[in-house]
Amino acid sequence: MIIGIECTAHTFGVGIVHKGKILANIRDMFMTESGGIVPIKAAEHHKLAAESVWNKALEQAGIEERDIEYIALANAPGLAPCLLAGLHFAREKAVKLGVKIVLVNHCIAHLEIGQSLGAKDPVLLYASGANTQILAYESGKYRVFGETLDIGIGNLLDKVARYAGLGFPGGPKLEKEAVRGRYIELPYSIKGMDAAFSGLATKAQQLLDAGKTLKDVAFSIQETAFAMLVEASERALAHTGKKELVLGGGVACNARLQEMCKIMCKERKARFYCPEKPLLVDNGAMIAYTGEVILRGAGKEILLNPENIDIKPRERTDEVDVSWR
Ligand code: ATP
Ligand code: FE2
């Protein structure tokens, strides 16, 4: 029985997994009416939410604290104050319960949960707030085939939404706006396998200043930015000869991005996989699930005593030794 704690940015989440089965997945997200995330405020939110999210997860799974055998903690990458809030909470619980901890990289958890749907050796399009990468497993690591050269795609959407006076998170709000929008041409900036989004953000802001409607701007940003990601993903499939695409990360909730990926996969006879929303956005279940996958593959030597854990706010996906695979 493994319990996972997510706390790397805006969400405090606790999930419980047993033999690959998700028994609980409870989340409490720091949101704003206007403006973005202030790391210290998000960390305060996590400290306040932690105990009740933990208890609700136990209740949902129908287990007692003493049934827990391991704790999985997302210790990287993310906002340092948020990571520390999670670390302190995990440490306190581990000491109380007398259990050890397995550390999980948040980005890798988005990837592993995507592969829980049955993909064997996929290309992964990881599209979230701070991160945007096209990855595939090769010789012991998740290698980066392409990535954003500046901001993550979710940050692009959040930035434009914030400029338009909408709060955080902005992606879902722009998606609703985009439904009735019409296309305005925007800078399409892809260099090799890498994409850049900040020019798009600036142009979108200029269009709003010039009186273009939010629905047209939202539609056009989605069409342009998603096309860039789908183009690079298709090229990664072609280069690697792989036949599966897994979509993950919070922006993967977007129905239009899913649709574009599906069309591309159908055209080149690749299989497409995308988890359900509660597993796409930041959540504790993906951390617990990945913790269990790591333990199963790498063995118990990977476990740490609570006093020996630390945070790694800047750890990159391709720095992690995927020793469990
Ligand atoms: P990272 O994994 O890079 O650390 P993150 O932790 O910020 O990212 P996720 O929950 O994985 O968070 O993704 C959050 C992002 O997903 C936000 O930028 C949010 O606007 C975006 N998002 C959520 N739902 C949608 C949607 N329906 N359409 C577009 N974007 C969305
Ligand atoms: Fe995330």
Indicate whether 115 belongs to any domain: no
- 229 & 264 share domain: yes
Our answer on whether the CB atom of 244 is closer than 6 Å to any ligand 1 atom is no
Question: Among candidates 46, 1, 45, 39, which has minimal Cα distance to 20?
Answer: 1
Name the band, by pLDDT with cuts 50, 70 and 90, for residue 280: very high
Q: Which atom of ligand 1 is nearest to the CA of 126?
A: 2
48 lies in which domain range? 2-110+279-319
Ligand in nearest proximity to the CA of 287: 2
The reported pLDDT for the residue numbered 37 is: 85
Verify that 89 and 176 share a domain, yes or no: no
| Total tally of structural domains belonging to the chain | 2
Ligand 2: centre distance to CA 272 (Å): 20
Q: Are 111 and 246 in contact (CB under 8 A)?
A: yes
264 shares a domain with 186: yes
Q: 195 with 262, same domain?
A: yes
317 in Cβ contact with 290 (< 8 Å):
no
Residue of 163, 166, 282 with the most ligand 1 atoms within 8 Å of its CB, for mutation: 282
Distance 303 CA to ligand 2 centre (A): 23
Give residue-wise pLDDT tens across range 214-223: 999 999 999 9
pLDDT band at 73 (very low <50, low <70, confident <90, very high): very high
**Identity (one letter) of the amino acid at 152?**
G
Does a structural domain hold residue 253?
yes
Does the beta carbon of 248 sit less than 6 angstroms from any atom of ligand 1? no
- Is the CB of residue 157 below 6 angstroms from any atom belonging to ligand 1? yes
Residue 324 maps to a domain: no
Look at residue 32 in the predicted model and tell me its pLDDT: 83
Mean pLDDT of the chain: 97
For 253, left (φ over 0), alpha (ψ -120 to 50), or beta?
A: alpha
Tell me, yes or no, whether 263 and 152 share the same domain: yes
| CATH number of the domain bearing residue 222 | 3.30.420.40
